[in-house]
Structure 1
Amino acid sequence: MISIRRRRTIVLPSLLFSLVWLVFFRGHLGWLHHPFTAASNGTSADDGIPPSPFQPGLVEFWDSASRALVEAKPDCSLPTEPIEAPPPLNDFASLAKGFDFRPDLLPMPQQDVDKMRDAHARFVSRIPELAQRLPYANGTQGIAVAASGALLPVFLVSLKMLRRTGSVLPVEVFMESKDKYEKEVCEIVLPPMNATCMILSEVLEAVPEKLKWSRYQLKALALALSSFDDVLLLDADNIPLEQPEHFLNSEPFLSKGFVSWPDYWANTASPKFYDISSQPIPSTAERAASDAGQLLLSKGKHAPTLLLILYYNYYGPSHYHKLLSQIPAGEGGDRETDKETYLAAAMSLNASFHTVTTKIETLGYTQVHDKQFKRAGRVQHNPEDDDHHHHHDGQKMMLRRPSFLHANTYKLDASEMSDHFNNELRSQRMWGETKLMVERFGRDVEKQVWAETLYTGCHLEHAFSAWENKSNVCKKIGRVYKFLYN
């Protein structure tokens, strides 16, 4: 028989251990009670990667949404033959008023159109229920960016330019999976700039339907899974020129909840898309194609639109990207991407939106060897200026405040810019002379961009996995900056 003294010796340490366990560990093991086997609140501590701060309930939402996506799969495939389009479709500005021709370039049998319409209707029928369950932090505003690997150093230049505007908006940077996580960047470099790394696989892999998303599809996911209510979806190589807070707190965003910007080209969506989505066919001259380098969306007003955006992008590479662009052979580039899916979703649901009417502006330089102008960047404008004018010397003039500079030709990667400078740029600036920059933007934006590119190349030369096999990054970009500005 064990003595009372002996039993007390055994019981007290056991009780003490239990209390310690409850106090220090219970709050960290909430994922054990989750209905799925994977953690809903992020990765485990064992892999050294802190969990992403996704919204509570996001995994439950994604379980339902992913099932709905799979159940609404189009039961047909699109033709893969090259498409030939007539020349007028390549330039929206050249279209005459009243131009109604909409090309029908995808030879789909009517039975396949019917199958896609049925699948589309199945998903749309699920949208009201799913939209009610979409979790986000009410009343918040922020920026969502899909950036990892080679895009991460490019994004850092954009982020530092954003902070130069005085913007304090939080930024969520979305990466596909744990193997894309960059420890130094995510845990040391980004937090002081109010930016957070978010790992998509923590949500995507935590449900039974493990859907595969890549490249341009990740932008739609970043928009949907961000924690913000009002979101600026931004490309990693897109530079805000003024505080995005201005757009989110003014018209037309306040009333519409959705703002998109125009591209150079005409919108060339197939008439079959409008049959599939059960809506009237709009005139080709009604609006230009979309530039999805930047987009404003309110989840409070547009959760249904956001779900249809996900549908168009999940089935984008196989179906909707081609239907929404009918990219002509020889056009090249990446026009058959996510860019048309956002506005198309709003139109399909008859939701409110505003498309900026100020035309896209081109920046570039004159090539030394042949004196030809070379495009090297694009500028988009403040959506408020669509309805505001000012007077100068008695004349009515339109305001055209530049809001975004998309550096889409030369990626602002310090490890590559020195080569571009020596080879294509031929030792000159890419967006114009200093005087022109200051006149147009109120400051020398290009010099600022080169300075931030120099910063990433010299202060973070060993931080990016994409630069692992590159040498003398700081030295090379330093020579360029010194040549241009010293």
Structure 2
Amino acid sequence: MKPPRLPRVTREESARKACLVPACILVSLVVLKLVVPSRHFRASNFNPRGGFVAGSFCHPFALPKIKSHLSFRPRSPKKLTDMGPGYCLCADDETRSSIASLKGCGSKPVTCETACAEHVIVGEKTAPCVQKTRPECSERFSHENMQMPSDDIIELARAFHWAMGPHLGVKLPRGSRRDLYQDFAMYDRQMSKTDVAKVKRRIEKFKREAPAFPKKRIFHGRGIVIVGGSSPKFSTSFWVAIHAIRRTGSKIPIQIWFPDGELPDCGRISELNRLNVTVLSFSHLNRADDGFAEVTNRFMFKIIALLFSSFDEVLLLDSDNIILRDPEELFSSTPYLSTGSLLWLDFWGRSSAPDCQSILGNVTAVLHTHESGQLITKKSNTWEALALALFMNAHSYFFFPLTINYM
């Protein structure tokens, strides 16, 4: 079957318009050139490799779209930029960089040659770091700043391990809570009554078998607990967080926990010691032959560090949180003293599925969510709740979809 032929008049009209498009663009450029005043360009201020560097998102101070280097060949400095975000790279060497015409999304086009001749922002580069030689230890686990959990805490971890039990053996409703259009709670799909009853029995069994708060005093004083890591996302942020705490004048001790295989080197462990920060490894909890509950997700590290730290009163802090005042006063605040915990509201409303309240009780149907990036708790006052949080994290494949939606 042949496609329909356009009438002759229509074909001629289309051809005429197609010929006019380049002409219109050319006229627009000429008009823009007349509007933008041309100034003498100081070639000494402009790096021939310079040009427009596209930004990664709409903010004028966004990082470059290509973050690894700035020496790639950007748009020619004499060509008109588009309306996207970025900046004009005017000069760049070992000591300084100069940029001009920082743009967000939808900003008017510029020519970098003109922009760099008019107004330039110059940034001085810091001198390269001189590597200090430090005495290295042969084994990081033997470093004097590595704190091993006490035998009592190891026994506590073993008792929790046995109380966790096997897989819950129940099914969630069909659909994914990560997608609005597949969210099973959105479509009012619910678990079978048999599975709801099975989970409730498992929770009651865990409550009976999980260790109570130790009568022997194995938790002491108060401190800050942070989970670190070796990836750039974590290895930089926890240093900033710790220095921010110390700059407030706070002397409160800090424990930083690392996953197995992610410990910092001996030099960094020594530097943490200078900041009154002790280092622990989650692998230490596996000293018992039967090990500890399987870590099913990285978020589980936080509740493990909180529960098995040596402190009774704990400020649990995400590694990317910055403290601006001495947190000591939070431990003497009225809300904390009256309840044994201090939580901060998050931005989002409640997103738990109805089955969550069927299992845990209607009292858990709060209208808001809490920010888990920082919380303060006294373990001796909130032990049962912390133990249940550990159980829910150990079975995150089930409890996370019940409590977290596509937000």
TM-score (norm 1): 0.50
Does the 8 A contact of 1:74 with 1:116 survive in 2? yes
Letter in 1 for 2:376: L
Aligned to 2:141: 49
Aligned to 1:188: 270
Structure 1's 245 and 154: CA in aligned 2 closer, same or farther, altered over 3 A? same
Which one of the candidate residues 299, 321, 327 is aligned to 1:216? 299
Does the 8 A contact of 2:314 with 2:376 survive in 1? yes
In the TM superposition, what are the counterparts of 1:28-177 in structure 2 within 5 Å?
47-50=139-142, 51-70=146-165, 73-79=167-173, 81-83=175-177, 85=180, 105=188, 107-127=190-210, 129-132=211-214, 136-138=218-220, 140-150=221-231, 151-177=234-260
Structure 2 CA distance for aligned equivalents of residues 64 and 222 of structure 1: 16
Does the 8 A contact of 2:157 with 2:292 survive in 1? no
Letter in 1 for 2:147: S
Q: How far did residue 142 of structure 1 move? A: 0.3
Instruction: Give deviations 1:458-485, integer Å, cap 9, x for gaps.
Output: xxxxxxxxxxxxxxxxxxxxxxxxxxxx
Instruction: Give deviations 1:255-311, integer Å, cap 9, x for gaps.
Output: 21111111111011122112212x22566xx54211100011101211222111111
Aligned to 1:269: 352
Letter in 1 for 2:219: A
Which one of the candidate residues 351, 371, 383 is aligned to 1:303? 383
Letter in 2 for 1:68: A
5+ residue gaps, structure 1: 1-44, 90-101, 332-486
Structure 1's 256 and 166: CA in aligned 2 closer, same or farther, altered over 3 A? same
- From the two aligned structures, give the one with the greater helix fraction: 1
Structure 1 CA distance for aligned equivalents of residues 206 and 171 of structure 2: 18
Instruction: Give deviations 1:202-240, integer Å, cap 9, x for gaps.
Output: 113524144321411100111011111100000000111
Q: What percent identity do the matched residue pairs reach?
A: 24
Instruction: Give deviations 1:376-419, integer Å, cap 9, x for gaps.
Output: xxxxxxxxxxxxxxxxxxxxxxxxxxxxxxxxxxxxxxxxxxxx
Structure 1's 194 and 290: CA in aligned 2 closer, same or farther, altered over 3 A? same
Aligned to 2:308: 225
Q: How far did residue 248 of structure 1 move? A: 0.9
In the TM superposition, what are the counterparts of 1:390-401 in structure 2 within 5 Å?
none
Structure 1's 104 and 238: CA in aligned 2 closer, same or farther, altered over 3 A? farther
Aligned to 1:315: 395
Structure 1 CA distance for aligned equivalents of residues 217 and 170 of structure 2: 33
- Secondary structure at the aligned position of 2:149 is classed as coil
Instruction: Give deviations 1:313-364, integer Å, cap 9, x for gaps.
Output: 1112x11111112x13xx4xxxxxxxxxxxxxxxxxxxxxxxxxxxxxxxxx
Does the 8 A contact of 2:256 with 2:280 survive in 1? yes
Does the 8 A contact of 1:145 with 1:233 survive in 2? yes
Q: How far did residue 56 of structure 1 move? A: 3.7
Structure 2 CA distance for aligned equivalents of residues 106 and 132 of structure 1: 42
Aligned to 1:290: 370
Structure with higher Rg: it is 2
Instruction: Give deviations 1:32-79, integer Å, cap 9, x for gaps.
Output: xxxxxxxxxxxxx984422523234111111111000125x4221334
5+ residue gaps, structure 2: 1-136
Aligned residues: 262
1:201 aligns with 2:283: yes
- Point out which structure has higher relative CO (alpha carbons under 8 A, 6+ apart): 1
Structure 1 CA distance for aligned equivalents of residues 258 and 322 of structure 2: 20
- Secondary structure at the aligned position of 2:161 is classed as helix
Structure 1's 249 and 79: CA in aligned 2 closer, same or farther, altered over 3 A? same
TM-score (norm 2): 0.59
Q: Give the superposed CA RMSD.
A: 2.6
Does the 8 A contact of 1:62 with 1:207 survive in 2? no
Structure 1 CA distance for aligned equivalents of residues 379 and 216 of structure 2: 9
- Secondary structure at the aligned position of 1:174 is classed as strand
Structure 1's 186 and 305: CA in aligned 2 closer, same or farther, altered over 3 A? farther
